[in-house]
Amino acid sequence: MDKEKIHANNEEQEIDLLELGRKLWAKRRFITRYTIYGFVAGVIISLSIPKEYTTSILMTPETSDAKNNMGGMAGLASLAGINIGGSGDMGITEDIYPQIIESTPFLMEFYGMPVTTSDEEPQTYTLSEYLGEEQKTAWWNHILRVPGAIIKLIKGNTETSDKDTVDLFNITPKQEAFVFSLAHRLSATKDKTSGLYTLTAEMQDPLVSAVVADSLLVKLQRYMAEYKTGKVKQDLDYNIKLYEDAQAEYNMAEDELSLAMDRNRNILSEGLKSRIERLKNERDLKYDIYRQAAQQVALLRFKLQENTPIATIIEPSKVPLRATSPKKTLITLAITFLSFIVAAGIVLLKDIFSGSLKHDTETKDIE
């Protein structure tokens, strides 16, 4: 009995599908016409979107264990009587690359960077001028901006003039727009399997894309170096000053002792012996301070070298030869298929709606 029901349901489903196919086939001209409209619209839209060029840099940051890195240095330092303790790691890893790239201070470093286009007649702009004034946009964006322009015209121009200087505490609307635009054009992604990082820059000009990507790498390495070595550099500068002061005081004590011994070489008074002994003790004390300061400076220089990140560039920046977007074929096919679905849906909805009206009319006639 159950097998008969299943067989009946399958036959009913096949009949419904055949009926659905006949309805669509009957309206094939309507569906074909709107599918062609969709194809034409897809071509127009794909051709209206400006080309974008992407430059990628493949790199691997230095991630080896600090203790292993310092093994050779520790052996050399021990010969000089210097004990290197902890690694001095500042606790910051390359996982913060994306956060650095999205930060306002980092992005504003690109604000006045000069870039040159790859046109037949190359033009040089600052990156802020290039992104703010030289970017192409699709025609419908100009239409969408008309209401806002009309509102501004009615209200009057209330915008303050943009400053040329960069004040991170109080950035201008123009600078804020620059940060927003550039943040969406730069990225850093990590391959979890290999640990490699890919830095990308996307621009409408291939040469500008390559220059910005290369600058992204340089600035990012410098930022990481500052993050990891900032505290060590401060300590090193302070200890170098202490070292220089200790060296000067030791030299003065040595000179004072030598002068006292030369002037009183043939005098054997107990008072003189006591003074010379005191000068020797002061000299020895200042020498100990001087030696400890020298060791501390050497230690901090080892730590500075240890904490300075070194990235290995696997694939450097180069000018892209082909645009990476828009995907014209994909856009055209997607809009064409969507038009086909919409046209078929209209046909079926009309049939369902007309069938429902017909059923209601027949019901009223029977009553």
DSSP per position, 296-336: HHHHHHHHHHHHS---EEEE-----SS--B--HHHHHHHHH
Indicate if the alpha-carbon torsion angle 124, 127, 133, 134 is positive or negative.
positive
Q: Which of 51-65, 83-97, 129-143, 223-237 has the lowest mean pLDDT?
A: 83-97
For 202, the 3-state DSSP assignment is strand
Give Cα 360 to chain centroid, integer Å: 63
Peptide linkage before 320 cis (omega within 30 of 0): no
Q: What are the tens digits of pLDDT across the range 166-220?
A: 778 888 888 999 999 999 999 999 888 888 899 999 999 999 999 999 999 999 9
**Which residues touch 343 (CB under 8 Å, ≥6 apart)?**
30, 31, 33, 34, 35
Question: Which two tokens mark 113?
Answer: 């960077």
Query: If 0-12 CB within 10 Å is exposed, 13-18 middle and 19+ buried, where does residue 317 land?
Result: buried
The structure tokens 């910005």 sit at 212
Q: What are the tens digits of pLDDT across the range 281-330?
A: 888 898 899 899 999 988 988 888 877 777 788 999 999 999 888 888 89
Are 31 and 24 contacting, i.e. CB atoms less than 8 angstroms apart?
yes
**Distance from C-alpha of 167 to C-alpha of 111, rounded to nearest angstrom:** 12
Are 90 and 209 contacting, i.e. CB atoms less than 8 angstroms apart?
no
Question: Has residue 90 got a pLDDT over 80?
Answer: no
Average pLDDT over residues 232-241: 88
Question: Has residue 12 got a pLDDT over 70?
Answer: no
Q: Using alpha carbons only, how large is the chain's radius of gyration in Å?
A: 38
Q: How far is CA 181 from CA 65, 117, 178, 184, 278, in A?
A: 38, 18, 5, 6, 71
User: What is the reported pLDDT for 2?
Assistant: 54
**Distance from C-alpha of 6 to C-alpha of 64, rounded to nearest angstrom:** 65
Number of other CB atoms surrounding residue 338 within 10 Å: 14
Indicate if the alpha-carbon torsion angle 271, 277, 283, 286 is positive or negative.
negative
Question: Which two tokens mark 133?
Answer: 């004034």
Q: What are the tens digits of pLDDT across the range 110-165?
A: 999 999 998 888 899 999 999 988 888 877 776 777 777 777 778 765 555 555 67
Give the end-to-end CA distance of the chain in Å, rounded to a whole number: 38
Amino acid residing at 316: P
For 180, the 3-state DSSP assignment is helix
**Across the chain, where does the E strand assignment appear?**
53-60, 114-116, 124-126, 186-190, 197-203, 312-315
Nearest CA to 329 out of 46, 95, 8 is that of 46
Average pLDDT over residues 40-64: 86
- Kindly write down the DSSP assignment for every residue of 155-194, as one continuous string: H---PPPPPSS--TTS--HHHHHHHHHHHTTEEEEE-TTT
Quote the pTM value: 0.69
Amino acid residing at 337: F
Q: What are the tens digits of pLDDT across the range 248-271?
A: 998 998 888 888 777 766 656 666
Are 306 and 236 contacting, i.e. CB atoms less than 8 angstroms apart?
no
User: What is the reported pLDDT for 20?
Assistant: 77
**Distance from C-alpha of 27 to C-alpha of 22, rounded to nearest angstrom:** 9
Q: What b-and-e string marks burial along 215-230, b requiring 16 or more CB atoms within 10 Å of the CB?
A: bbbebbbebbbebbbe
Are 260 and 281 contacting, i.e. CB atoms less than 8 angstroms apart?
no
